[in-house]
Amino acid sequence: MSLPVVLAGVAGLFVGSFLNVCIHRLPLRTSVVSPRSRCPACRTILPPIDLIPVFSYLWLRGRCRSCGVGIGLRYPLVELATAVAFGAAVARWGSSLAALQAAVFLSLLIVACLTDLQTGIIPNRVTVPGTIVGLALAAVGPASLVTAVLGVIAGGGTLLLLALISRGGMGGGDIKLGALMGAFLGWPHIGVALAVAFLAGGVAGMGLMAAQRKRRRDEITFGPFLGAGAVAALFWGASILLWYGGILRPS
């Protein structure tokens, strides 16, 4: 494992710590900058030693130093996931603008998917500025702004059309997340992301119904499936498109 990948992973741990703050505070519509982090149970301000990613969780055995209340496993998992995401981006694209673009995109996906899982809401404070950032990076990065704009139209437009057809079967947060994904992935990779998302969501839905945990009319949180599709398109989109083109090409 190269030094840049290791450094990216370490950076990801600390960014993941901030993403945890976003996941907790954005649904509450409070600032992600201030006040300082506190224990949700006893409201004690956490000292810097208790904010070291992953290490502090292990050192404290998953409990608050002051009151002993358990700390959710989500916190170290998000930090580790962000570290893996950053390391994978640098391993794939090297120390480049493309890797930075991927790291930003993956960070936004982590916040959007986790807030959707916890609250059923994908905050506008993630999707709207995230889409703008994606377009701005496309304008100066290896991808073209035209493909990014087409991606926004395809991603957001497809989900908007489905929402209209299903009369509410797709939420506004999903539509805006689709637009964000299109800004970063561009066209035609956004098509890969949506295809994977619908396939994964369909399989999961049938599995939940077979296990009698969901009924046909029950809603399924779709943000995480969009996130899974986005990751697949980001890292393997070109290969998937090439494979699919080979199937369609006459022998």
At residue 92, the pLDDT reads: 96
Indicate if 90 and 190 belong to the same structural domain: no
Distance between CA atoms of 203 and 142, rounded to whole angstroms? Answer: 34
Amino acid identity, residue 201? G
Indicate if 133 and 223 belong to the same structural domain: yes
* Tokens, residue 80: 């580790």
* Tokens, residue 135: 């377009």
Indicate if 105 and 38 belong to the same structural domain: no
Mean pLDDT lowest among 20-24, 80-84, 139-143: 139-143
In whole angstroms, how large is the CA radius of gyration of the chain?
A: 19
Q: Which residue has the tokens 């539509």?
A: 175
- Surface-to-core class of residue 54, CB atoms within 10 Å of its CB (0-12 exposed, 13-18 middle, 19+ buried): middle
Indicate if 100 and 224 belong to the same structural domain: yes
pLDDT in tens, 135-178: 999 998 777 899 999 999 999 999 999 999 887 678 899 999 99
Range of 163's domain? Answer: 96-251
* Domain termination site, one of 66, 95, 124: 95
CA 15 from centroid of its chain's CA atoms: 13
Indicate if 107 and 173 belong to the same structural domain: yes
At residue 208, the pLDDT reads: 75
pLDDT band at 217 (very low <50, low <70, confident <90, very high): low
Q: Are 220 and 201 in contact (CB under 8 A)?
A: yes
Indicate if 242 and 122 belong to the same structural domain: yes
Q: Which residues contact 56 (CB under 8 A, 6 or more apart)?
A: 49, 50
* Tokens, residue 174: 């999903």
Distance between CA atoms of 140 and 142, rounded to whole angstroms? Answer: 7
- Surface-to-core class of residue 233, CB atoms within 10 Å of its CB (0-12 exposed, 13-18 middle, 19+ buried): buried
